[in-house]
Amino acid sequence: MSAPPASPRVPRHIAVIMDGNGRWAERRRRPRVIGHRAGARAVNLCIDYCLQHGIEALTLFAFSSENWGRPEDEVGALMKLFLNALEREVDELHRRGVRLRFIGERQRFAPDILAQMRDAEQRTVGNRSLHLTIAASYGGRQDIAQAARALAEDVAAGRLRPDEIDEAAVARHMALADLPTPDLFIRTGGDHRISNFLLWQLAYTELWFTETLWPELDAATLDRAIEDFAGRERRFGLTSAQVAPAPPTLQDRTDA
């Protein structure tokens, strides 16, 4: 059975920074990698939630371009977890109609991980229940820079004039260009910043922060985020009067 369509008070696209895995482990005097393993459960919970509530797209920040600078043993453990998750989860995601893809500088990954990423994308490309995007080796500035390079190449090749470069032209070259921009951004772990994540795409996204560490995420936390989103007025630079629904006309009342 397919999920019900999202209502106007439910976001179509949620973007998440999954923060707090390391601190979760440290508070338990365990290695940081244990926290990353625990965080995998929260990923599955978040996917389940989106499928149940008719949310169209979920983008998760798994590994930033800056994270390569972390201690070598932690990066190695993260890569192993990433590969294991790909091997373990893709069949179930495919069965549930989830399309999986990756954004970021994937050439920095080892060949075995790259092969698994390509296989997962190819196998799930026709799925439509949920568009799940994993941002891995990703940075928002990097995303904008690659869009600028693509536009420069188009100009150099004569396919585009400089005066034709506008916001729409840039947006076409950004990651996630074929998806609605995120309606709701969630960051766990207590920090109140977006940390170079989807800088272009989050221009008018509603931001929601929680002290909850990522491995402790539950449906009640996501419910609070959605409830908060539903109560916000999204004006996109307009006034409240401009975005308010028009009052019913006499004809509307008669028809009712």
DSSP per residue over 58-83, as a string? EEEEEEEGGGGGS-HHHHHHHHHHHH
Amino acid present at 129? S
79-100 average pLDDT score: 92
pLDDT digits (tens, 9 = 90+) for 101-155: 999 998 889 899 999 999 999 999 999 999 999 999 999 999 999 999 999 999 9
Average pLDDT, the chain: 90
- 58: nearest Cα among 182, 217, 215, 207: 182
Tokens of 184: 């709701």
The pLDDT-based confidence of 207 (bands split at 50, 70, 90) is very high
CB 218 within 8 A of CB 201: no
Domains of the chain: 13-255 (3.40.1180.10)
Task: State the Cα–Cα distance between residues 256 and 244, nearest whole angstrom.
Answer: 20
* Annotated catalytic residue, options 48, 67, 154, 196: 67
Residue 17 has pLDDT above 70, yes or no: yes
C-alpha distances (whole Å) from 110 to each of 2, 32, 70, 80, 235 are: 36, 22, 17, 10, 44
pLDDT digits (tens, 9 = 90+) for 36-75: 889 999 999 999 999 999 999 999 999 888 888 888 878 8
Q: Output the CA torsion sign for 88, 57, 37, 224.
A: negative
Q: Would you call 19 a catalytic residue per the annotation?
A: yes
The pLDDT-based confidence of 254 (bands split at 50, 70, 90) is very low
